[in-house]
Amino acid sequence: MPIAQINIGRLVGAKDGPEVAPFMAALDRVNAIADASPGFVWRLQDAEGNATALQPTVDDRFIVNISVWTTVEALAAFVYRSDHAPVMAQRRDWFEPHKGVFLALWPVAAGHFPSVDEGLARLWHLDRFGPTVRACGFRDRALLTD
């Protein structure tokens, strides 16, 4: 069964500001890595080809990323073992510390592409109730393969 993921963050500066310019400059390259990765199915995009112009909250520094993968293993390979990993390692330079849950994984039906509202609801569920098959993190991904 395919796996969806959402991750959120609040940038340390304006989307067009110098504080996050290296992150914004890396997006096209990182998205191309995702698009070409084994197991990649879909990702949330705006007209620019990423999702940074989407504004699901009143906070214009809040950004959201959602994607769908054939398996949690394929997603983990992209996140931790591709050229995405060095960019992710710098996330503290570009994102404010987040006190709650900022990433959730959950199973989706083939052909289903989650909305931002669905993803945010999964994050809320994980933050409120802890890991379940409805939403979990990488540490509890075994819940998704049972």
* Tokens representing residue 73 in the block: 């293993």
User: Of 121, 123, 91, which Cα lies nearest the Cα of 10?
Assistant: 91
- Note the pLDDT tens digit of each residue in 106-136: 999 999 999 999 999 999 999 999 999 999 9
For the beta sheet containing 62-69, the strands, ordered from the edge strand earlier in sequence to the opposite edge, are 40-43, 62-69, 3-10, 103-107
8 A C-beta contact, residue 138 and residue 76: yes
- Note the pLDDT tens digit of each residue in 22-61: 999 999 999 999 999 999 999 999 998 999 999 999 999 9
Query: For residue 145, which phi and psi values (nearest 5 degrees)?
Result: -110, 0
Separation of alpha carbons 104 and 93, rounded Å: 22
